[in-house]
Chains A and B, each alone.
Chain A
Amino acid sequence: MSVVTEEKPIKKSYKYVGTRPVRHDGLEKVNGKARFAADMTKPRMIHGHVLRSPYAHARILSIDTTEAEAMPGVKAIVTESDFPLPKKDEGFPHRSKNLIARDKVRYEGQAVAAVAAITRRQAKEAAAKIKVNYEELPSVITVDQAMAEDAPLVHEDLLTEGLDSEPTKPSNIAKRSFFEQGDIEAGFANADVVFEHEFTTKVVHQGYIEPHACVADTSRDGRSEIWCSSQGHFMVRSATANMLGWETSKIKVIPAEIGGGFGGKTTIYLEPLAVKLSEKADRPVKMVMSRDEVFRATGPTPGTKIRVKIGAKKNGEITAGKAWLAYESGAFPGPWGMLGGWCVFACYNIPNIQIEALEVVVNKPVNIPYRAPSAPMAAFATETVIDQIAQDIKMDPIELRLLNAVEEGDYNHSEMVGTFQLIGLKETLEAIRNHPNYKIPLGPNQGRGIATGFWFNIAESSSATVNLTEDGTAVVITGSPDIGGSRASMALMAAEELGIDPKLIQPLVGDTEAVGFTDVTEGSRATFATGLAVVRACQKLVIQLKERACIMWECSVDDIEWVDGSAVHKEGKEPPLALAEITSKAKKTGGPLNATGSLEAKGQGPAFSTQMCDLEVDPETGKVTILRYTTAQDAGTAIHPSYVEGQMQGGVAQGIGWALNEEYIHNKKGRMENPGFLDYRIPVASDLPMIETIIVEVPNPKHPYGVRGVGEVGIVPPVPAVANAIHDAVGIRLRDAPMSPVKILKALNQKNGASG
């Protein structure tokens, strides 16, 4: 289903943009030919294995590799002494300190050493022979533990940034961010109803199916080639070089296909270890994580504790919003609380706001992005309180949101957006309200929940090269790994610009030496920013094509226009000259036709999603069954609607897992007890109904096709939508995710006990 808004600028009519061709990489993906990092083999290749910390927090007193070095098949061992700390980290701060433990281990699973041997088994057995002498230290696992008076310090020298006065002693609170507008007390005084509640969420993992893997081949001339799966191979190159103290140009990264990322592959864990092991062993080294390692050592999303207070008048007008947000950041500081603070009230016009956000270090893996990082937890709090206000003032929950929803010209408190340009929040709310599913009657123990969500999206740098071939096809090379169908969207935009069928476009992902620098595929940016680079390259090619036609026709370029894939003489003096005819004569008219496009993109469009969840609660077991799920999202323009729908459905599926099942479970020593998909349960197909999608199209005025990012915002509303539906079904308000059967039964028993 597609909704095109009539009040806003209507999109142009396109020939190829908005169609649904079979994805160019589809066949290889389904027949097993697509090559992922773990598929790579090289002559003389050996295997690496990482020795990881068994403790959540411990001082390293000594490391002795003598016995391990003498083990059969061992070719190389690395420890922290092989990786001098860079003066400044590339990209994520503290990435180099996370790569391999130095003075202390700060979470269970942190790398301590790595071994390369002829076989994986030999490498694993040798790693077990490395003698690490630890002094175990008390650990902090939750924000409450970490912020307690006299809590054990994850970093003895960490002073809190952002305080009103200079901190006098170290703390586990890395940073405080504070935003304020209006008069918060006057705002609450002006309200007829005020609700304030505390919410908690647990650490959850991105859950990509493909574990991290790479092959590094370091040659004696000091250069290294890396094959790996990531969301950005230029990031892999610069971060690896940074951690090794090498020049960036000494490393070439060849992107493998990627089996899911969702933000989890925007950093690196293995590559510098593999490069160094390869250098020492003088052989290619392959490293592949197990699922256990993925859970224990790679970045999940933060656990949180959030208090939200919202006041409103009886007519539904929100007068004030106050939020206190404490986000775990794992073992090293991150920006997660600040991002949550920016998102917590972003959907609404609230005149009086006060937000305090804290980044709290704990003895758990370093948190990194997961689809719209930090926004889902903040939305859980805000959207649940909004639902309670709607119930209290007896207003339809969509009407309440529409009454307060931001639109073009409204100011966003986050500083990231400033004044909103054309946005589609209200259109997503209206799309859900007008959908037939909103009126389907519900039975006993069944409930309906509404929630909405916001995400900024990101722009950054992108490059593209387009080569036209002799037979009239186009090879489009970009630097963006394809994690969500970007090959198809690049091909469609190129087809639209050049005027040729998308089947004639071959979209490729180039390595770090085959295409210009491109930032990570993150922040829903690839179709927006890399798409802009493709459009620019194609527009240059159209100019070249017209010039070649004018050589062939012996006329002025002013006499020619480019129409539907052909040069057309404005006065009709020549029959149209198709692109393939021009490229077939390229050698006679000046040589090969190619062009590049590159830019530091600006003007990404903020994304909004409104979702409706229908579910049933089994009062005997507490089990929740999702009956129907409907999601409306502003895509700006859907370049390839199938992949937009796929992103929407994927975000919802992951959000439902977050809402109902997923959580890291740690014991008192800070060790994870469920590092596998049997015990850490992500939704499977049989857990979910077909998720119904409504693509709303309010074009982004800063993109030639109106593109917004679509990859992330879909995960923001599910947790509160499920919570609100559970309340609608059985009358209990759950404010601690995941809302597992145990918690539901406990709340039902309390409710029934209280009423009975």
Chain B
Amino acid sequence: MIKVFLGSNLKNFTNGVEELELEATSVKSLIAEMDRRYPGIADDLESGFALAIDGEVIANPGYEKLAEVSEVRFISPMQGG
């Protein structure tokens, strides 16, 4: 079971829910499961979100394996100077 933190950025898509627990073996299957629960959220994620997978930031996530992962956080894309 993976803890998924959506944060305030995505809660408009999830009726205010900011944390989920779900089964997924990869980022791809995680997003598919989220889209099943909240239809349309996958399209929004496609337009640009980064992930922190157990604290490691992935700027362009897509196909990462999540077998040993306990926590996934959706975060806005970073910008620097």
Q: Using A370-B81, A457-B80, A525-B80 as known contacts, say yes or no to A177 and B52 having CB atoms under 8 A apart.
A: no
A368, B79: Cα distance in complex, Å: 9
A418, B75: Cα distance in complex, Å: 11
| A335: chain B residues within 8 A (beta carbon) | 76-77, 79
Digitize A352-387: 1 where CB-to-B-CB distance is under 8 Å, 0 elsewhere: 000000000000000011111100000000000000
Q: Apart from A460-B59, A712-B81, what are 13 other A-B pairs with CB-CB below 8 Å?
A: A162-B11, A177-B7, A177-B9, A373-B80, A373-B81, A418-B55, A461-B60, A522-B81, A523-B78, A523-B81, A602-B57, A602-B58, A712-B80
Q: Using A88-B47, A418-B73 as known contacts, say yes or no to A524 and B58 having CB atoms under 8 A apart.
A: no
State whether A418 touches B59 (Cβ < 8 A): no
Name 17 A/B residue pairs within 8 A (Cβ), A-sorted. A177-B9, A266-B79, A266-B81, A373-B80, A415-B7, A416-B52, A418-B54, A419-B55, A456-B78, A458-B78, A458-B79, A460-B59, A461-B60, A523-B79, A524-B80, A600-B60, A602-B56
State whether A177 touches B79 (Cβ < 8 A): no
A262: interface (CB < 8 Å): yes
DSSP class of A's interface residues: helix, strand, loop or mixed? loop
Interface centre among A162, A176, A266, A603 (most CB of B within 10 A): A162
A417: interface (CB < 8 Å): yes
Closest to B58 in A: A602
| A215: chain B residues within 8 A (beta carbon) | none
A338, B7: Cα distance in complex, Å: 11
| B78: chain A residues within 8 A (beta carbon) | 339, 416, 456, 458, 523
State whether B9 touches A523 (Cβ < 8 A): no
A161, B12: Cα distance in complex, Å: 7
State whether A164 touches B16 (Cβ < 8 A): yes
| B81: chain A residues within 8 A (beta carbon) | 206, 262-264, 266, 369-373, 522-523, 711-712
Q: Using A415-B75, A419-B55, A460-B59 as known contacts, say yes or no to A162 and B80 having CB atoms under 8 A apart.
A: no
State whether B79 touches A415 (Cβ < 8 A): no
Give chain B nearest CB distance to A325 CB in angstroms: 13
Give chain A nearest CB distance to B47 CB in angstroms: 6
Give chain A nearest CB distance to B11 CB in angstroms: 7
Closest to B64 in A: A602
Complex A-B, nearest 6 residue pairs according to Cβ-Cβ distance, in ascending order: A418-B55, A523-B80, A263-B81, A369-B81, A371-B81, A522-B80
A88, B43: Cα distance in complex, Å: 12
| A461: chain B residues within 8 A (beta carbon) | 59-60
Give chain B nearest CB distance to A96 CB in angstroms: 14
| A459: chain B residues within 8 A (beta carbon) | 57, 59
Instruction: Count A-B contacts at CB 8 Å.
Output: 95
- Which of B11, B16, B57, B60 meets A416, CB within 8 Å? B57
Closest to B16 in A: A164
A246: interface (CB < 8 Å): no
Q: Using A88-B47, A266-B81 as known contacts, say yes or no to A176 and B58 having CB atoms under 8 A apart.
A: no
Interface centre among B59, B75, B79 (most CB of A within 10 A): B79
A162, B18: Cα distance in complex, Å: 11
Digitize A84-118: 1 where CB-to-B-CB distance is under 8 Å, 0 elsewhere: 00001000100000000000000000000000000
| A525: chain B residues within 8 A (beta carbon) | 80
Closest to B54 in A: A418
A371, B16: Cα distance in complex, Å: 34
A178: interface (CB < 8 Å): yes
Q: Using A161-B9, A416-B52, A418-B73 as known contacts, say yes or no to A339 and B79 having CB atoms under 8 A apart.
A: yes
State whether B80 touches A372 (Cβ < 8 A): yes
Give chain A nearest CB distance to B75 CB in angstroms: 5
A712, B79: Cα distance in complex, Å: 12
Closest to A411 in B: B55
Digitize B46-77: 1 where CB-to-A-CB distance is under 8 Å, 0 elsewhere: 01000010111111100000000001010111
Give chain A nearest CB distance to B6 CB in angstroms: 10
State whether B56 touches A603 (Cβ < 8 A): yes
A372, B81: Cα distance in complex, Å: 6
Which of B4-33 touch A at CB < 8 Å? 5, 7-9, 11-12, 16
| B59: chain A residues within 8 A (beta carbon) | 458-461, 600
Closest to B55 in A: A418
A626, B48: Cα distance in complex, Å: 44
Which of A446-496 touch B at CB < 8 Å? 455-461
- Which of A177, A339, A368, A371 meets B8, CB within 8 Å? A177
Give chain A nearest CB distance to B63 CB in angstroms: 11
State whether A416 touches B80 (Cβ < 8 A): no
